[in-house]
Amino acid sequence: MPELNRLSNEEFRAAEKFPVTVILDDIRSQNNTGSVFRTCDAFRVESLYLCGITAVPPHREIHKTALGAEDSVRWKYFNSAAEAILELKKSGFMILALEHTTNSLPLQKYNIPEGSRIALVFGNEVLGVCEDALKLADACLEIPQFGTKHSINVSVAVGVTLWEVLKKLNKI
């Protein structure tokens, strides 16, 4: 593993983070939550906010897919996604919910102003982002899909979205 030149947990915590926070709104699967921890580590996000019924570490099922990222990624728990969003708005974050709505825009076509701090909201595997969180979002984005399903797994959606957002912020 040393030849991969990866950061230690201490180096990761001290490293500059990209200006993105991920919010998980009522995620049912601890495996999905663990996968998101791992993806947030890979993309060196500022923090991960776990809301509502989303499980928090330490948890065996989270650890199984996070592979230790629950120890490197800064996280915080909130009773609701709306509570998390309100805190981030006070700090100047732009709130982008990933949800199919009548007003949602394709992720790849949405322009993010340079220098923005972004909070990305991802919802429950069945119900999506809750209505209270949608009302607080600055925009709703969707990942274009071309198959028979109307959604992709939430942990996959986090990875796709982080890649696109960091490209738009000229970070990758």
Rounded distance, CA 97 to CA 80, Å? 14
The reported pLDDT for the residue numbered 24 is 98
Structure confidence by residue, pLDDT tens digits, 48-91? 999 999 999 999 999 999 999 999 999 999 999 999 999 999 99
Nearest Cα neighbor of 116 from 92, 88, 136 is 92
The reported pLDDT for the residue numbered 2 is 67
Residue 108's Cβ-side half-sphere holds a number of Cα atoms within 13 Å equal to 4
The ranges assigned to domains in the chain are: 2-168
CATH code for 2-168?
3.40.1280.10
The reported pLDDT for the residue numbered 3 is 75
- 142 SS3 class: strand
Point out the residues of the chain with pLDDT beneath 50: none
